[in-house]
Structure 1
Amino acid sequence: MIALAIAAVAALAQPKVVAVIPPQHRLVEGVASNGATIWASSVLDRQIIACAATCRTLATLPEGLHPLGIAWDWTRKLLWIAADCPDLPGVPKCSKGALVAIDATGKLRAAIAPKNDFHPGDVSVAQRGIFVSDSHNGLVYGLLPGRRELRAINRPGDGRSAQGTALAPDGVSVIVADYSRGIGRIDLKTTSTTWLPGSDGKLSGVDGLVRCGETFVGVYNGSAPGRILSIHVGQNSIEAVDLAKGVSLRDPTQISFDGKRLLVVANAGWEAAAKPNGSRSAGAPIVAIPLPAGCSR
């Protein structure tokens, strides 16, 4: 199920499975943690699963809202959820999803959407705001201090399939992983996007993204098996390498950082979920990867 053959890599120990979402939750997309509880999003049944000693259903989202990417808000003590109606068998179509917030007890605290069509897929949280990406049109929206509405922080047409985002260390730009365009830097003041090539050209195929100190960590699932990449973002380019050589994951999607470890959804279940009668015989593992040197929240 998970290939975890590891070469000798300085400062990295063996990754391990720290939770398994039961197989009745056929599609597991997002993961988040506050260091004590691990949350995962069960897409098809609209549930947020909470795992500590065991896993249980914490909340079920309103009809029509299916949870995808999730992120824990350390400042506001909320779990933010990118919720939509993905194009999957049994999921009714909709014109708009929402950015949803629940508290640690599962109580719904907010559901926000812009006026235009909105199909969010991933979300990230920083003290300076919440950022949510639309994979349908490449827009990234921000819920920024002093505002009660979501506004696009980049320009229409700049991106094509926005995925993971993370506020850069400078606090004035957001790094976005666009599945088609590659890795870009969005200027929060001007809304312009600078696409950052690597040594081999654009780095397309990155899904989940998180900042870990001065470095970014991305989930590459553009081809099988998936890999976890350490991405150094320079002024005009990026440098991406395997975080741990020899570590490969089946169908990885999202990633989170809870201050002491990186958590990755492995074997999410997208292939089976795309089939009308698809099922899974084993649960979705949440894999913990020890932090590389220099990683801090």
Structure 2
Amino acid sequence: MIRAGTLLLALTASADAPETVYSAPAQHRLIEGVATDGRTIWLSSVLDRTILAHRAGKGDSRIAMPAGTLHPLGLAWDSRRNWLWVATDCPDLPGVAKCDSGALIALDRSGRLKARLSAGPGFHPGDVAAAGGAVFVSDSLNGAVYRLNGNTLDPLIAPGIARSAQGSALSPDGKHLIVADYGRGVATIDLKTQVRTLLPMADGKPLRGLDGLVRVGADYYAIHNGSSPGSLLRFRITGAQIAVAVVHRGAPLADPTQLASDGRRLLIVADAGWPAASKPDQPPRGAGTLVAMPFR
């Protein structure tokens, strides 16, 4: 989650408002990631190192991060392994101890640690994606993107080539990874050749300021929080460009970060709580709100 630059989108937004489906208890002051298997929704509570599990009509539970792990950020559900992948790190926030590097970990449904991987010193993962058995993790501090290969993380984009890699999504044919780089824009990576290509909008400009990213069919949905208020965007790749539309802008997307699909709708962390977490003397304002929107 990064705030850098401003991009004003002169596009038409939908008038339909997102529906609130869950509000985290007030003590969870910073909610970042979201993942779902279509029934259970998992949310990462960053500061208290907890993952919240919500299932409508079934009650809520909490998973404490295993001993020796760091703060949970991005989440992704891996339906092949039945694991929840968690990007863990030490975000630059008051009260969070600094660390040399983070790790990508996997938990089973009960919270047992199943895997822990690192790309080496200086690895600071923030977002993770899983699809068809493939797992990808991005580093927002140096722009690197890695692919899971057995028990190792292989670089698809080496550190320093891009700027700030955020969410990613596998293309429909499984041959490309689409990456939202906060500072450089949307890029596609050929998974065979590892060639990276930036995809501008029709006017030739990059779409900067994107955070979370998910694919639904041929459409890619992304959170834009490079300007205030935040927006939910949809884009399609047409040749070497992206065609972008605004699905929703403004309330309740006060501080949106990540999103996931449950097969019927989008689930969006609408008000994560980063401003309040950065200034702990300020009370949270409805942080931890999860909203849903139908596909458009």
> What TM-score, normalized by structure 2, do the two folds share?
0.90
Check whether the contact 2:66–2:112 (CA below 8 A) recurs between aligned residues: no
Matching residue of 1:118: 123
1:129 deviation in Å? 1.0
Partners of 1:34 and 1:170 in 2: CA distance: 22
1:276 deviation in Å? 4.0
Partners of 1:57 and 1:278 in 2: CA distance: 25
Identity %: 49
Among 26, 32, 35, the residue aligned to 2:35? 32
Tell me, which stretches of 5 or more residues in structure 2 are unaligned?
1-11
Number of residue pairs matched by the alignment: 282
Check whether the contact 2:13–2:247 (CA below 8 A) recurs between aligned residues: no
Spell out, residue by residue over 1:107-142, the C-alpha distance to the aligned partner (whole angstroms, 9 max, x if none).
Answer: 111111122320000000011410000001000011
Partners of 2:285 and 2:214 in 1: CA distance: 30
| Residues 1:192 and 1:157: Cα distance change in structure 2 (over 3 Å) | farther
Among 163, 167, 173, the residue aligned to 2:166? 163
| Residues 1:31 and 1:91: Cα distance change in structure 2 (over 3 Å) | same
Spell out, residue by residue over 1:43-80, the C-alpha distance to the aligned partner (whole angstroms, 9 max, x if none).
Answer: 01111011124433123243451000101111111110
Tell me, which stretches of 5 or more residues in structure 1 are unaligned?
1-6, 293-297
Partners of 1:87 and 1:283 in 2: CA distance: 19
Equivalent residue of 2:271, what SS?
Answer: coil
Check whether the contact 1:46–1:61 (CA below 8 A) recurs between aligned residues: no
* Residue 243 (structure 1) aligned with residue 259 (structure 2): no
Matching residue of 1:220: 224
| Residues 1:203 and 1:281: Cα distance change in structure 2 (over 3 Å) | closer
Check whether the contact 1:22–1:282 (CA below 8 A) recurs between aligned residues: no
| Residues 1:15 and 1:276: Cα distance change in structure 2 (over 3 Å) | closer
Check whether the contact 1:227–1:247 (CA below 8 A) recurs between aligned residues: no
Report the RMSD for the aligned CA atoms in angstroms.
Answer: 1.9
Check whether the contact 1:137–1:161 (CA below 8 A) recurs between aligned residues: yes
1:1-297 to 2 correspondence within 5 Å?
Answer: 14-52=17-55, 53=57, 54-63=59-68, 65-144=70-149, 147-200=150-203, 201-244=205-248, 249-292=253-296
Spell out, residue by residue over 1:60-101, the C-alpha distance to the aligned partner (whole angstroms, 9 max, x if none).
Answer: 243451000101111111110011000001111111101111
